[in-house]
Every structure is written in C-alpha cells, then in structure tokens.
Structure 1
Amino acid sequence: MRSHTYRLCSLLFAPAMFAPAMFALAMFALLPLRPAAAGQPPPRSVSAGALIEAARAALSGGAPRDAAVLLEGVEPGAADPDTLDFLHGQIALARQDWRTAQRRFRAMLARDPGLTRVRLDLALAHYRAGEFERAERHFRLALSAPGLPGDVRANALSMLHLIGREKAEGWTFGVALALAPDSNINNATDAQKLGLFTLSQDARRTSGVGLVADMHAGYTAAVRPGLQFRVNGGLRTRSYRESRFNERIAGLNAGPRFLFGRSVLHPEVHVRQRWIGGDVYSRSAGLRVSGSRTLSPVWRLRWSLGRAWTDYEGYLGRGHTDTAGFGIAHALGGVTVLRANAGWRRETLDKDYWSWREFSLGLSAESELPRGFVAGAGLRVDRRDYGAPRPLFGPQARRDTTYALWTTLSNRNIDIGGFTPQLTLRHERRDSNITLHDYRRNVIELGVVRSF
C-alpha cells in the first residue's frame, strides 16, 4: 500500500518527464568537458545553464546520481538559488533522502513562503519520513493557495486521506525549554490593603525568573483498519529561586481512536496531578471524548466533552468539573492558519462559594514569513462566575473576567541540535469584583522547542 502511494505521489508531484531528445541535447552540451586531444585548444567551460539543463534531463531520465554530479559543477553564485535548491530537493526525494529534501524545500520557502509547488513537495517529504502532523499542515496550507490546478488539488486531498489513516502511528515526542522572566508568578494583586485588612507579602504580587520545561510522549498502535489505540503522557514544570512558587503538572491519557472517512472520534480516560511548592495541590481522573471533522480542504472542526473528578488536598475539598469545547481552523492564502475556539467549564465543589462556571472565547492566527520566520498571535477571554457569596467578602458572589494576549516568533531554519528557537510574549489581566483577585501579569519566554 505504501509503495503504491509513493509511486502515485512521484507521478503527480515530480517534474514532467523530459523527452529522450532533450536528454541527448543536454548531454551534447557537456561534450566539451572531455579532455582535449594533444595539440588542440583547451575546452571551453560549460555554462551553469547547460549543467542545470543536463541535470534536469538526467533526473527526468531516472538518474538522480548523475544529476547530482552535474550540479556539483555549477559554480557558487552562478545560478539562481531557488533553481538549485529545487533540483537538489527533487534529487533527494528520488534518492529517499527525506532530510535533505526537507532542508532544500524549507530554504526556498524561507525566501518566498508563497511557493505552493514547493510546499507540496515539502509536505510529501514529511509524509515519506513518517512525520504526518507536519505533512498534514503543509498540505492544508497548499490547498488554501489560490489557483491550484484541479489534478494537484485532488492528489493533495488523497494524501490528506491517507494521513488521516496513518497519522501518528508509532512514537511521538516533544520537548520545550524556556527561560521566563515573569512580573507576577503567583497571579496576585498589587493592592496592599483590602478594606480594613493589610495583605501580607505572600498575598501580593511577586516577580521572578523561572525555568519552564514541557515534555510529552505518546504511542499510537494500529489495531485494525479504521481503529487505533493511543497513549499520551506529559510533564510541565515551572521552577523559581523561591521554591514555594514552583509548579509541576503531570498527566496521562489513553483510549481508542476511531477513523470514519473525514471524521475522527477519540474517547479516553485521563489522570492528572498538580504540585505547588513541592506539595500535592490536586489529583483528578476523568473521562473525555473528542473528535474532529474535515469540512473542506481548508476548514477543520474540533470538539470535546468531558467530566473529571478532582480531590483538592487543601481547603477546597472534592468535586467534579464538566467541560465542553469547540474549535474551528481555516487555512488562508497558502501561508496562514486562523483558529477560533469557544469553551464552557463548570466546577462543582463542596462549598457553593468555591464552585464556578466559566465561558471562554479565543482567536489566534499563525503565518509563515520570509527567511523561515513563523509568527503567531492570539487573544483569549474567560468569564467566571462563582456560585455564592463568600463570607467576609460582601453580599455579592465573586465574578472574574480574565484577558490574555500573546504573540510568538520562531524560525524553522535555525537548528540547534534539532531544536528551534522560539520567543513568546504574554500579557494577562484579571478584573474581579473582589479586589483581592485582580492581577496583571507580563511574561517573556525565550526558549527552544523540538518535536520528533
């Protein structure tokens, strides 16, 4: 099945086959490369154009090794870099050197992110390397480009169908490390007094520089056609000089994954534990079902429903949290992905004044820029209403509105031992009808990320 898919992709994405006459003409252009006989004038140098045409003919004639040798004769700066990168990328594809092909095609997209044909070739290189998430992303971006020929569109859609059935089989890993100066590591107010009470230093805003680490791993096994089983685990830590502000969150989830044409259904069980300052803050376990549906080549829908039972080790007690989420993504113009998300959560605890319900709305965009840069930005608004007034805080139940703004910048062309640098700027603000819960926070995260 896989070999048949590769042959199909090669026929549709590889350059058109040159006629034998073209190949012969290109070889004739190289005849001056042979040593001159005694007494004859030295041969004239072969132009870069002739070498490139000969390499194209050799590649289309099924001789990628000869094409590579011919391109070695092109002097640096003598030819358009896009032409050379494209030919080297095609040669790498023919020789099943997926990493070289990816590097060459990424170099072209760094100069011009709008090269749809090159993005399709990069998607193919990721697919053949088994990197289905990256392949899917580039196929969807290419499908959003205007003026895509019908046969190419049909082939890209067939590749997306194959990716949906093969995606993420085997192991996946991800690591992110960042240094994070933070103006408010405890999400606390700047106020010094609350009514007649003076707040202690621990209850007020504290700044610091943290080290953030985010690691996750997963394994997906194919049970039978249309059915997979997936297990994922993750650990996120945030460490500061003052250990009482340290935070760790560990989670594990597992369940089957059903594939129905354009739709995916994924029920799972999950467990989670959170530590603050080295002590266990909460433990939870629950059930969740999530799904996605491809509405069109450029529109994709995601949703989720779940319930988790939580035991807070401190004074909050025990309870459960119900969640529902909805998201939609749209690829635009061949280089940009727009996303919108809405969510609802309700936590029910032993005390009504600790219980709450929350509505969320988020918008974000990510776009590929020249020179390998990828920029993103987003906005999220959360509105949380508590179930009853809390003693000593007045007759009104607590109401919070939290705003979060962020922007990210990374460069896919910079490789530091397999890691890509990333800069994230984030601003948060909570407005509450109880002053104690107001806060402002600015965070800078400068780090590296890697998925493999």
Structure 2
Amino acid sequence: MQKQTYIAAIAASWIAMAGSPAAAQDDTLCENGGCTIAMDGNALLASASRLIEAERYDEARLVLTALENSPELSTQTNLLMGHVAMRAGDIDGAIGHFRTVLNEQPGQIRARLELARALMMAGRHSSADHHFRLAEQDDNLPEDVANLVRSARGLIRDRRGWHLDVEVGFAPDTNINNATDTQRVDLVAGPFVLPLSLGENSRAQSGIGQIVGLSGGIEVGLSGDVALSIDADARFTNYSGGDFDDLSGALAIGPEIRFSDRNRLTVQALANQRFYGWNDAQRSFGLRANYQRVLNRGARLALAVDGRRIDSGFGDQFSGWQMGLYGTYEQVLNRSLIASATVFGRRDALRSDAYSHFEVGGRIGIGGELPLGINAGVSGGVSRALYDGALPLFSVKPRQDWRFNSQVQLGLRSLRVLGFSPTVTYSYGRTDSNVSLFQSDRHRVEFGLARYF
C-alpha cells in the first residue's frame, strides 16, 4: 500500500505541474446543417489531457494516435501515451513510451521520473532507483516532488530486491595470453648478461574470444534495517584450441546494515575461483566491508576494504595474502551522466618476494545517456607497482611497473532484440616495466548483446 501511495503522489504532482498544453486553436465550420471542427496538434493534446483527467483512457488513446505522425509533438504525445498505458495497466508499454522520450532528450526530467515510477511498479527496483537518482540531481525540481523522490528511494531500499545482467558477445584481442611482445629478454647470471630470444608461444598472441557473462544479486530482509546481501557473477571466454580459455566465478554473501537513508554498511564473505586453459589457476577466500554515504542529491562516497587468502594453481610462489583499500566518489552531471573517481592501494604479500608488491593508483570516468538512445562511457586509470625483491635470472633489481588502462563503451538502448541491446567496448592496457619480460600492451574490442533484468 505504501508503494502505491508514493507512486500515485509522484504522478499527481507531475500532472499538476504539467498543466494543459500550449494554447490550442480550433476552427468550427458549420454548413448545410452540419459542423466540422478542425483542431491543431496542441488542441488534440489538450483534448487528450482532459480525457485522461476524466479517466476516459480509450478515447484519449485514440486522440493521441492521431498525433503519431507529428514529430514536433513527440515528447508530449509519448508522455501522455505512457500515462494512459500506466492507467490501463500496461506497464511495459508505458516504459517504452518514456524511454522513447529519453532517447531523444536525456535531460527530460518528467520523462525520467515517469520512467522511474513505471520501473518501480514493474518491480525493477534497481533500475528505478538509478533513474530517481539522476532526476533528484535537478536543482529546479520542486521541493514537494524532491521529497516524494527521496521517499520513493527510501521505499525501494526498504523493499529489497534482485537483479540479473546477461551478456553474450565476441572480442578480437591482440594479447589473449597477456604476455610480452618483446622478442628478446636478458638473462642475468652474476656479472654476465645473456640475451635470450623468446619463442612465439612465450610472446603475446592474438585471437577472437566468444564471451558469456552473468552477474546478479539479491537482498533478503532480516529486520527493519538489516538485510542479507548476496552477489554472484561468472564469466567465460572461449578461444580456439582451449589453451587460453578463461572461466571465473565469484560469490559474496553477508549482512547489509542501513544506519539511515544516507548511510549503509555491507560486510560480506568472499569466494573466487578461476580456471585458465581448463587448469585450476587461482582460488581465494576472504572478507570485504563497504561503506556508502549519500552526500547530497547527486553525490555519493564509498569506502571499501578487503582481505583475502590466495591459493594459486601455478605454484606456491604466487600464493599468499592480498589486502586492499578503495575510495570512490560519484557525482551526477546534467541529469543524465555520472562521473566517478577512484583511488586505491593494494598489497600482495605472497610467498615469493619477487611477486610480492604494493600497488597504488586511481581511475576516473564518466558515463550515461546521450540523445538518439545511445549509452556511452569513457574511463582511464594509472597505477604504480613496486615489488619487494628481484626476480632471479631476469633482474638484479626489484621489478617496478607503471600500468595504464582505458576504456570506451557505447550501447544502443533504443534497439532491443528479445530484450537484448547491442554494445561495443574498446579496452587498452599497457604495462611499462624495468624488467623486459613484463613489458606488454593489449588492445581489445568486445561486441556484445546485453540484457538487464
């Protein structure tokens, strides 16, 4: 009941704000005992609005259908068609109309709020909260509507829920084994340096991978302010021959505590497993704590710390402990974009000093919705890794790396096939190391179809 109350209140507020369309013009011509009324587009919109207020939805739909070939009135028509669909119980149809408006005008706040409440009614709480958050950033949002939005987001958080993302695709990759492209490395034996040529199998190899990915989560309420949070994901990349096939999975489970609408803490046990070339490559177990605070309408701060035990299938020298500290700041921009900045520090304390290291770095990015139904994002990062000891035979000094990464992603949310939308992602990674064996760079383009439940 509380959910319906908030939704109805938001709808009523927007209907009141929208008012009637621009002044309408109609011409009445009477002759030979009959009258003909000629109405322009604005008059039809005004008529449809009155029919909706009178709850005569079928008649309103007929009037609005007459405006489908009037592109200059597309925004108002789709908003009213979405409202009619909502009142008729066609939630999916309403979502489609509101998305059409946002495909053309990502900054259209009324359409975004209408979409958010439609998603909320459909039980798609995570998506609804995302759109409420974008709309909440608008400084021109009336205070009564802003209060209703905050209440709706609080209700979403209290109701808990689930989400599932599915992705399939393929990815041409210049370095599927993440190896060096250097043709020769130096072997160090005391005072002697001996050049060693690397064979083709020891150097970077290119290929095209077929990808399947699943990611999901669920929250189960335990009490008013405590829920059980479960997150899981799996990803498989298949390459010809199978030597570089990569399968990984992760599971996180633990309580989430909400101290207020603005503060929450999640503590989860972690388990990860990876197979590479169908060999047991790595497994890990640990704990993660994540604290999030909403700073204002459009800003959020997150702090996370984790620690885990790593057991490597490639040798005991790669086994040990990993600990990390992460901080992320997010800010909504222009009512349709989210900018973020992350800094991190990580320590790998492994059995071999040659592979134990500290790494510190950061990453910035921005992404969101653009006109024409395009989703876009761009990000980049840099980090510095300093190792504890030298790697015998390859260096007399401990390894030191600069690591760079960048990504550009485009998606076409306006095109859907069985609920899947096309995406393309370009990624670049580069490692500059004082040990030539670890010099590498990698270009990867992933073409995919993604669906978000």
Q: Deviations over 1:395-448 (max 9, x none)?
A: 210111110011111111110110111111111110001011001111111111
1:78 to partner: Cα distance: 8.2
Using a 3 Å threshold, how does the CA distance of structure 1 residues 395 and 18 change in structure 2: closer, same or farther? closer
Contact 1:404/1:427 (CA < 8 Å) preserved in 2? Answer: yes
Structure-1 separation of matches of 2:292 and 2:323: 20
Alignment of 1:183-194 (within 5 A): 183-194=174-185
Alignment of 1:27-38 (within 5 A): none
Contact 2:28/2:38 (CA < 8 Å) preserved in 1? Answer: no
The amino acid across from 2:367 in the alignment is E
Alignment of 1:364-403 (within 5 A): 364-403=365-404
Q: Tell me the equivalent position of 2:108.
A: 115
1:339 to partner: Cα distance: 0.3
Q: Tell me the equivalent position of 1:412.
A: 413
Q: Tell me the equivalent position of 2:263.
A: 263
1:213 to partner: Cα distance: 1.7
TM-score scaled by length of structure 2 = 0.90
Q: Does 1:97 align with 2:90?
A: yes
Q: Deviations over 1:21-56 (max 9, x none)?
A: x9xxx9xx8999xxx99x845745655444332210
Q: Does 1:201 align with 2:194?
A: no
Contact 2:425/2:447 (CA < 8 Å) preserved in 1? Answer: yes
The amino acid across from 1:414 in the alignment is L
- State the secondary structure of the residue aligned to 2:140: coil
Q: Tell me the equivalent position of 1:179.
A: 170
Structure-1 separation of matches of 2:411 and 2:238: 23
1:187 to partner: Cα distance: 1.6
- State the secondary structure of the residue aligned to 2:243: helix
The amino acid across from 1:210 in the alignment is G
Structure-1 separation of matches of 2:394 and 2:233: 38
Structure-2 separation of matches of 1:17 and 1:291: 39
Structure-1 separation of matches of 2:384 and 2:72: 58
Structure-2 separation of matches of 1:434 and 1:265: 41
1:249 to partner: Cα distance: 0.5
Structure-1 separation of matches of 2:321 and 2:127: 36
1:205 to partner: Cα distance: 1.1
1:287 to partner: Cα distance: 1.1
Question: Structure 1: 5+ residue runs without aligned partners?
Answer: none
Contact 1:18/1:61 (CA < 8 Å) preserved in 2? Answer: no
Using a 3 Å threshold, how does the CA distance of structure 1 residues 18 and 194 change in structure 2: closer, same or farther? closer
Q: Tell me the equivalent position of 1:68.
A: 61
Contact 2:263/2:294 (CA < 8 Å) preserved in 1? Answer: yes
1:73 to partner: Cα distance: 4.4
Q: Tell me the equivalent position of 1:360.
A: 361
Alignment of 1:334-345 (within 5 A): 334-345=335-346
Match of 1:148 among 120, 141, 146: 141
> How many equivalent residue pairs?
439
Q: Tell me the equivalent position of 1:308.
A: 308
Match of 2:52 among 59, 68, 71: 59
The amino acid across from 1:370 in the alignment is P
Structure-1 separation of matches of 2:71 and 2:378: 40
Contact 1:175/1:214 (CA < 8 Å) preserved in 2? Answer: yes
The amino acid across from 1:437 in the alignment is F
TM-score scaled by length of structure 1 = 0.91
Structure-2 separation of matches of 1:378 and 1:405: 6
- State the secondary structure of the residue aligned to 1:297: coil
Contact 1:14/1:90 (CA < 8 Å) preserved in 2? Answer: no
Structure-2 separation of matches of 1:114 and 1:284: 43
Contact 2:126/2:163 (CA < 8 Å) preserved in 1? Answer: no
C-alpha RMSD of matched pairs (Å): 2.5
Contact 1:123/1:138 (CA < 8 Å) preserved in 2? Answer: yes
Question: Is the deviation greater in 156-165 or in 269-278?
Answer: 156-165
Structure-1 separation of matches of 2:378 and 2:84: 37
Percentage of pairs with the same residue: 27
Using a 3 Å threshold, how does the CA distance of structure 1 residues 318 and 74 change in structure 2: closer, same or farther? closer
Q: Does 1:292 align with 2:292?
A: yes
Contact 1:30/1:50 (CA < 8 Å) preserved in 2? Answer: no
Using a 3 Å threshold, how does the CA distance of structure 1 residues 188 and 323 change in structure 2: closer, same or farther? same
- State the secondary structure of the residue aligned to 1:80: helix
Q: Tell me the equivalent position of 1:319.
A: 320
Structure-1 separation of matches of 2:125 and 2:27: 41
Q: Tell me the equivalent position of 2:81.
A: 88
Q: Deviations over 1:104-161 (max 9, x none)?
A: 1111122222212221211221222222222222222222234332222222222222
Contact 2:28/2:37 (CA < 8 Å) preserved in 1? Answer: no
Contact 1:338/1:364 (CA < 8 Å) preserved in 2? Answer: yes
Q: Tell me the equivalent position of 1:275.
A: 275
- State the secondary structure of the residue aligned to 1:202: helix
- State the secondary structure of the residue aligned to 1:140: helix
- State the secondary structure of the residue aligned to 2:166: strand
Using a 3 Å threshold, how does the CA distance of structure 1 residues 317 and 426 change in structure 2: closer, same or farther? closer
Q: Does 1:229 align with 2:260?
A: no
- State the secondary structure of the residue aligned to 2:295: strand
The amino acid across from 1:299 in the alignment is A
- State the secondary structure of the residue aligned to 1:148: coil
Question: Is the deviation greater in 4-13 or in 352-361?
Answer: 4-13
Structure-2 separation of matches of 1:75 and 1:145: 30
Q: Deviations over 1:223-273 (max 9, x none)?
A: 221111122222111111131111111111111111121111111111111
Using a 3 Å threshold, how does the CA distance of structure 1 residues 12 and 18 change in structure 2: closer, same or farther? closer
Q: Deviations over 1:65-94 (max 9, x none)?
A: 332233234473387112211110111222
Question: Is the deviation greater in 136-145 or in 76-85?
Answer: 76-85
Match of 2:125 among 114, 117, 132: 132
Q: Tell me the equivalent position of 1:445.
A: 446
